[in-house]
Amino acid sequence: MSEAHEPAASGAAADEAEGGRVAQLKHTGLRPGWTTGACATAATTAAYTALLTGDFPDPVTITLPKGQTPAFALAYEHLQPGTAATAAVVKDAGDDPDVTHGALVRATVRPLAPGTGVVFRAGDGVGTVTRPGLPLDVGEPAINPVPRQMMREHVARVADEHVGTGAGAGADVEITLSVDNGAEIARSTWNPRLGILGGLSILGTTGVVVPYSCSAWIDSIRRGVDVARAAGRTHVAGCTGSTSERTVVAEYGLPEDALLDMGDFAGAVLKYVRRHPVDRLTVCGGFAKLSKLAAGHLDLHSKRSQVDKGFLAGLARTGGADEELADRIRAANTGLAALQLCTAAHVPLGDLVAEAARDEALAVLRGAPVRVDVVCIDRAGTVVGRSSVR
């Protein structure tokens, strides 16, 4: 990756410059897309509306967790009055080289008995969880928690609008999601190794696919540091995503222009801050990603680095784990599963990973006058490990 960079902003231009994750995305010049979770929510909303009214809204508009209201054109619709309705949308991943770009995401909605609530099913091309260590129980369809919540909220709104159930009363429906050729597409993902069998996962925490480009994103990180320095920020945070961003805002009250969306590029943040120091850098991200940094990886993308369970077992041993527990960690399905094993045994693996990641960050900084701390979180944003500031 190139080390070339634009000069730091200064003077009036710096005062007017935007900062934070939104500005970084704008600066890349890349077109964002929509997650499978957003597509599934749109298809579900259209299908349930048709089930209640007889008509499919096309395009169908949904509300994402951060308030965006994209509209999705329907690629397929089929209604069995009073029995079931199916709608589908084509996933547009924007300028991201996502293997699911162009996939047809279908949702079939069927009414259930009053009081049943919302039940999720995996149709053709959507995987099923077969191993522990994921944010879903074994046997559950691979539809992640945030997309599930989005779908629950949208069917509740549709029910309230067309049936008058009352705000927040929800709906009693079965939602079956499927993805055309999903099982084949899933072979190009990590799902088979994670024990998600039969197809793809329905994913997304914001509904938006952040387009991936090494050079553009690294350049946006540098611009983010420049803007923070020009604004006089002495404490900045490198975040792996929107959940870690929310965590550092809650923990430290940092303003938007002090937040750097580093994504998987931890090394890009550290190397640029080495040349353009700030007083303090907090690195915040998911436990599994930051375990890679702790093991010496500076690119945290799953295609270029993996969680080293042997490394985690060694760390756990330093924290009091016996050899039996270390063996179980080595055999764990995911980093989260290893963390759960240690939590049950009262071994502070989260803190140990955070401390090791901080030390790796300091090594990359090579004595630059920057104090560093690391915060590890789980998928819900709960802090599961933190280092001291050094």
Residue 372 lies in a domain: yes
HSE toward the beta carbon, residue 125, CA cutoff 13 A: 16
Q: Is residue 154 predicted with pLDDT exceeding 70?
A: yes
Report the CATH number that the domain containing residue 203 is assigned in CATH. Answer: 3.30.2110.10
Domain final position from 176, 209, 242: 209
Residues 199 and 311 in one domain: no
User: Quick one: pLDDT at residue 1?
Assistant: 27
Domain assignment present for residue 1? The answer is no
Between 12 and 360, name the one with better pLDDT: 360
In terms of Cα–Cα distance, which of 106, 103, 96 is closest to 40? 106
Q: What does each C-alpha distance from 90 to 131, 258, 311 come to in angstroms?
A: 29, 36, 41
Same domain, 163 and 281: no
Is the per-residue pLDDT at 62 higher than 50? yes
Determine how many CB atoms are found less than 10 A away from the CB of residue 200: 28
Q: What is the mean pLDDT of residues 246-269?
A: 92
How sure is the predictor about 6, in pLDDT bands with cuts at 50, 70 and 90? very low
Q: What's the whole-number average pLDDT of the chain? A: 88
Q: In this structure, are 242 and 359 located in the same domain?
A: yes
> What is the mean predicted confidence (pLDDT) over 330-348?
95
Give 21-37 pLDDT, tens digit per residue: 556 566 667 788 899 99
The 10s digit of each residue's pLDDT in 120-137 is 999 999 999 988 777 889
Pairing of strands 280-286, 259-261: unpaired
pLDDT of residue 13: 33
Average pLDDT over residues 235-264: 92
Q: State the average pLDDT over residues 270-296.
A: 96
Q: Is the dihedral of CA 236, 242, 248, 250 positive or negative?
A: positive
What does the pLDDT read at residue 16?
Answer: 36
Q: Does 2 reside within a domain?
A: no
Q: Please give the residue range of the domain that contains residue 249.
A: 11-30+213-386
pLDDT band at 89 (very low <50, low <70, confident <90, very high): very high
Considering the domain architecture, whether residues 128 and 264 belong to the same structural domain is answered as: no
**What is the pLDDT, as a whole number, of residue 99?**
86
CA torsion 347-349-355-357 (nearest 10°) is 170
pLDDT band at residue 257 using 50, 70 and 90 as cut-offs: confident
CA distance 260 to 236: 7
Residues 318 and 233 in one domain: yes
Is 4 a member of any domain?
no
Task: Say whether both 146 and 190 belong to one domain.
Answer: yes
Instruction: State whether 97 and 182 are in the same domain.
Output: yes
- 5 domain residue, yes or no: no
Of 70, 237, 91, 270, residue with least CA distance to 154? 70
Separation in Å, CA 284 to CA 74, 267, 268, 358: 38, 14, 15, 11
Same domain assignment for residues 64 and 196: yes
pLDDT of residue 12: 31
Identify which of 252-266, 302-316, 328-342 has the greatest average pLDDT: 328-342
| Per-residue confidence band for 7, with pLDDT thresholds at 50, 70 and 90 | very low
Average pLDDT over every residue of 301-309: 82
In this predicted model, which residue has the larger pLDDT, 169 or 29? 29
Q: How large a percentage of the chain has pLDDT more than 90?
A: 70
CB burial readout 37-59, b (16+ within 10 A) else e: bbbbbbbbbbbbbbbbeeebbee
Last residue of a domain, one of 158, 191, 209: 209
Domain boundary among 188, 209, 230: 209
pLDDT tens-digit profile of 183-238? 999 998 878 867 899 999 999 888 887 665 566 677 778 878 888 898 899 999 99
> What pLDDT score does 21 carry?
52
Higher pLDDT, 95 or 158: 158
Q: Are residues 61 and 178 in the same domain?
A: yes
How far is Cα 85 from Cα 111, in angstroms, rounded to an integer?
10
Same domain, residue pair 253 and 369: yes
pTM of the predicted model over 0.75? no
Number of independent structural domains in the chain:
2
Domain contains 135: yes
In a domain, 93, yes or no: yes
| pLDDT score, position 25 | 61
- 246 and 187, same structural domain? no
pLDDT of residue 20: 54
Please say whether the beta carbons of 349 and 387 come within 8 A: no
**Do 199 and 285 lie in a common domain?**
no
Place of tokens 């009414």: 111
pLDDT of residue 256: 86
pLDDT the model gives residue 381: 92
Arithmetic mean of pLDDT, 159-169:
70
Confidence tier at 110 by pLDDT (50, 70, 90): very high
158 inside domain? yes
